Protein backbone atom coordinates (compact mmCIF):
# COMPACT_ATOMS: atom_id res chain seq x y z
CA UNK A 1 0.00 0.00 0.00
CA UNK A 2 1.29 3.44 -0.95
CA UNK A 3 -0.16 6.19 1.24
CA UNK A 4 1.58 9.53 1.68
CA UNK A 5 0.98 12.10 4.39
CA UNK A 6 2.58 15.50 3.66
CA UNK A 7 3.15 17.71 6.69
CA UNK A 8 4.54 21.23 6.20
CA UNK A 9 5.02 24.26 8.40
CA UNK A 10 7.52 26.71 9.87
CA UNK A 11 10.18 25.88 12.48
CA UNK A 12 8.99 24.79 15.94
CA UNK A 13 5.30 24.67 15.02
CA UNK A 14 5.14 21.07 16.26
CA UNK A 15 5.28 19.29 12.90
CA UNK A 16 8.10 16.96 13.96
CA UNK A 17 6.23 15.81 17.07
CA UNK A 18 2.97 15.43 15.16
CA UNK A 19 4.66 13.61 12.26
CA UNK A 20 6.33 11.08 14.57
CA UNK A 21 3.06 10.45 16.43
CA UNK A 22 1.07 10.07 13.20
CA UNK A 23 3.65 7.66 11.77
CA UNK A 24 3.64 5.58 14.97
CA UNK A 25 -0.16 5.55 15.13
CA UNK A 26 -0.65 4.28 11.56
CA UNK A 27 2.57 2.22 11.35
CA UNK A 28 4.01 4.41 8.58
CA UNK A 29 7.66 5.31 7.97
CA UNK A 30 8.65 8.90 8.80
CA UNK A 31 11.14 11.22 7.08
CA UNK A 32 12.08 14.58 8.63
CA UNK A 33 13.17 16.28 5.39
CA UNK A 34 14.67 19.22 7.32
CA UNK A 35 17.46 16.81 8.30
CA UNK A 36 18.55 16.61 4.64
CA UNK A 37 18.98 20.38 4.46
CA UNK A 38 20.56 20.48 7.93
CA UNK A 39 23.09 17.81 6.89
CA UNK A 40 24.01 19.87 3.81
CA UNK A 41 24.16 23.04 5.97
CA UNK A 42 26.50 21.32 8.45
CA UNK A 43 28.81 20.27 5.61
CA UNK A 44 28.90 23.84 4.29
CA UNK A 45 29.81 25.11 7.79
CA UNK A 46 32.67 22.57 7.66
CA UNK A 47 33.87 24.05 4.34
CA UNK A 48 32.10 21.96 1.68
CA UNK A 49 30.39 23.22 -1.45
CA UNK A 50 26.59 23.14 -0.96
CA UNK A 51 25.64 21.57 -4.29
CA UNK A 52 28.36 18.90 -4.11
CA UNK A 53 27.40 18.14 -0.49
CA UNK A 54 23.75 17.66 -1.50
CA UNK A 55 24.70 15.38 -4.40
CA UNK A 56 27.01 13.28 -2.18
CA UNK A 57 24.68 13.03 0.84
CA UNK A 58 24.42 9.58 2.45
CA UNK A 59 22.28 8.16 5.26
CA UNK A 60 25.29 8.38 7.59
CA UNK A 61 25.29 12.18 7.20
CA UNK A 62 21.83 12.32 8.82
CA UNK A 63 22.90 10.45 11.95
CA UNK A 64 24.81 13.19 13.82
CA UNK A 65 23.41 15.96 16.03
CA UNK A 66 22.08 18.55 13.58
CA UNK A 67 19.84 20.51 15.98
CA UNK A 68 22.15 23.51 16.62
CA UNK A 69 20.91 27.01 15.76
CA UNK A 70 23.80 27.74 13.36
CA UNK A 71 23.09 24.50 11.48
CA UNK A 72 19.41 25.49 11.17
CA UNK A 73 20.35 28.87 9.67
CA UNK A 74 22.87 27.21 7.31
CA UNK A 75 20.15 24.74 6.26
CA UNK A 76 17.76 27.56 5.46
CA UNK A 77 20.48 29.26 3.37
CA UNK A 78 21.42 26.17 1.32
CA UNK A 79 17.68 25.48 0.83
CA UNK A 80 17.35 28.49 -1.51
CA UNK A 81 19.81 26.94 -4.02
CA UNK A 82 17.84 25.20 -6.83
CA UNK A 83 20.57 22.57 -7.46
CA UNK A 84 20.54 21.61 -3.77
CA UNK A 85 16.76 21.12 -3.81
CA UNK A 86 17.01 19.17 -7.09
CA UNK A 87 19.67 16.85 -5.65
CA UNK A 88 17.42 15.97 -2.69
CA UNK A 89 14.19 15.48 -4.66
CA UNK A 90 14.44 11.85 -5.79
CA UNK A 91 15.32 10.55 -2.31
CA UNK A 92 12.25 12.24 -0.83
CA UNK A 93 9.92 11.07 -3.61
CA UNK A 94 11.21 7.49 -3.36
CA UNK A 95 10.64 7.58 0.39
CA UNK A 96 7.07 8.84 -0.14
CA UNK A 97 6.33 5.98 -2.54
CA UNK A 98 7.62 3.19 -0.30
CA UNK A 99 5.28 0.34 0.47
CA UNK A 100 3.47 0.56 3.80
CA UNK A 101 2.75 4.30 4.05
CA UNK A 102 4.98 7.32 4.65
CA UNK A 103 4.85 10.60 6.53
CA UNK A 104 7.18 13.35 5.29
CA UNK A 105 7.53 16.65 7.07
CA UNK A 106 9.17 19.81 5.78
CA UNK A 107 8.36 23.05 3.97
CA UNK A 108 7.39 21.99 0.42
CA UNK A 109 6.14 18.42 0.77
CA UNK A 110 2.50 19.10 -0.13
CA UNK A 111 3.33 21.72 -2.76
CA UNK A 112 6.40 20.34 -4.61
CA UNK A 113 7.71 16.96 -3.39
CA UNK A 114 4.36 15.14 -3.14
CA UNK A 115 1.68 17.28 -4.80
CA UNK A 116 -0.51 14.14 -5.03
CA UNK A 117 -0.14 13.16 -1.36
CA UNK A 118 -3.19 11.40 0.07
CA UNK A 119 -3.42 13.84 2.99
CA UNK A 120 -1.79 17.25 3.50
CA UNK A 121 -1.43 19.12 6.76
CA UNK A 122 0.01 22.56 7.45
CA UNK A 123 1.12 22.94 11.06
CA UNK A 124 1.66 26.48 12.28
CA UNK A 125 1.79 28.66 15.42
CA UNK A 126 2.63 32.29 16.15
CA UNK A 127 6.29 33.26 15.83
CA UNK A 128 6.40 34.24 19.53
CA UNK A 129 5.09 30.88 20.70
CA UNK A 130 7.42 28.98 18.37
CA UNK A 131 10.39 31.04 19.57
CA UNK A 132 9.46 30.38 23.20
CA UNK A 133 9.42 26.62 22.54
CA UNK A 134 12.84 26.80 20.85
CA UNK A 135 14.18 29.02 23.66
CA UNK A 136 13.18 26.45 26.30
CA UNK A 137 14.83 23.69 24.23
CA UNK A 138 18.06 25.65 23.62
CA UNK A 139 18.41 27.27 27.03
CA UNK A 140 18.59 23.82 28.63
CA UNK A 141 21.90 23.31 26.75
CA UNK A 142 23.21 26.86 26.29
CA UNK A 143 22.65 29.45 29.00
CA UNK A 144 23.99 32.30 26.85
CA UNK A 145 21.01 32.29 24.49
CA UNK A 146 18.22 34.86 24.94
CA UNK A 147 14.52 34.95 24.01
CA UNK A 148 15.17 37.93 21.73
CA UNK A 149 17.92 36.11 19.84
CA UNK A 150 15.82 32.97 19.36
CA UNK A 151 12.84 35.04 18.15
CA UNK A 152 15.07 36.92 15.69
CA UNK A 153 16.43 33.58 14.40
CA UNK A 154 12.91 32.16 13.97
CA UNK A 155 11.74 35.26 12.07
CA UNK A 156 14.86 35.31 9.85
CA UNK A 157 14.34 31.66 8.93
CA UNK A 158 10.56 32.11 8.34
CA UNK A 159 11.29 35.04 6.03
CA UNK A 160 13.97 33.20 4.05
CA UNK A 161 11.92 29.99 3.81
CA UNK A 162 8.70 31.80 2.76
CA UNK A 163 10.15 34.35 0.37
CA UNK A 164 12.53 32.18 -1.66
CA UNK A 165 11.65 31.83 -5.34
CA UNK A 166 11.71 28.03 -5.47
CA UNK A 167 9.45 25.85 -3.31
CA UNK A 168 8.63 28.53 -0.72
CA UNK A 169 6.99 27.61 2.57
CA UNK A 170 3.22 27.91 2.12
CA UNK A 171 0.17 25.73 2.71
CA UNK A 172 -0.82 23.47 -0.21
CA UNK A 173 -4.24 24.38 -1.62
CA UNK A 174 -5.92 21.35 -0.13
CA UNK A 175 -4.01 21.20 3.18
CA UNK A 176 -5.75 21.26 6.55
CA UNK A 177 -4.12 23.95 8.69
CA UNK A 178 -3.66 23.15 12.39
CA UNK A 179 -2.60 26.13 14.51
CA UNK A 180 -0.87 24.72 17.61
CA UNK A 181 -0.50 28.10 19.39
CA UNK A 182 -3.27 27.26 21.85
CA UNK A 183 -3.38 23.46 21.47
CA UNK A 184 -1.86 20.83 23.73
CA UNK A 185 0.43 18.33 21.98
CA UNK A 186 -2.15 15.59 22.55
CA UNK A 187 -4.96 17.66 21.00
CA UNK A 188 -2.82 18.61 17.99
CA UNK A 189 -1.94 14.93 17.41
CA UNK A 190 -5.61 13.96 17.73
CA UNK A 191 -6.61 16.61 15.18
CA UNK A 192 -4.03 15.25 12.72
CA UNK A 193 -4.99 11.59 13.22
CA UNK A 194 -8.69 12.44 13.00
CA UNK A 195 -8.13 14.14 9.65
CA UNK A 196 -6.03 11.31 8.18
CA UNK A 197 -8.04 8.27 9.33
CA UNK A 198 -11.06 8.73 6.97
CA UNK A 199 -8.75 8.84 3.91
CA UNK A 200 -7.38 5.39 4.76
CA UNK A 201 -10.84 3.90 4.18
Binding residue for ligand DC, selected from 72, 119, 125, 191, defined by CB under 6 A = 72
The verdict on 76 binding ligand DC (CB under 6 A) reads: yes
Query: How many whole angstroms separate alpha carbon 138 and alpha carbon 146?
Result: 9
Number of residues in contact with ligand DC under rule CB under 6 A: 15
Shortest Å, Cβ 114 to ligand DC = 10
Nearest residue (CB) to ligand DC, 81 versus 198: 81
157 HSE (CA, 13 A, CB side): 29
Q: Which DSSP string corresponds to 89-151? A: HHHHHHHHTSTT-EEEEESSIIIII-TT-SEEEEEE--HHHHHHHHHHHHHTT-TT--HHHHH
Site string for ligand DC, 143-182 (x = CB under 6 A): --------------x---x---------------------
The site for ligand DC (CB under 6 A) is made up of 11, 33-34, 37-38, 72, 75-76, 79, 106-109, 157, 161
Amino acid sequence: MIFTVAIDGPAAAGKGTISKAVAAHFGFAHLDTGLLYRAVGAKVLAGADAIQAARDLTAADLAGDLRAANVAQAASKVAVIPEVRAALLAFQQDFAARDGGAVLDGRDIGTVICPDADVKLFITASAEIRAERRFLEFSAKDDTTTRAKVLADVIARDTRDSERALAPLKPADNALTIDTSELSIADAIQAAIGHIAPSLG
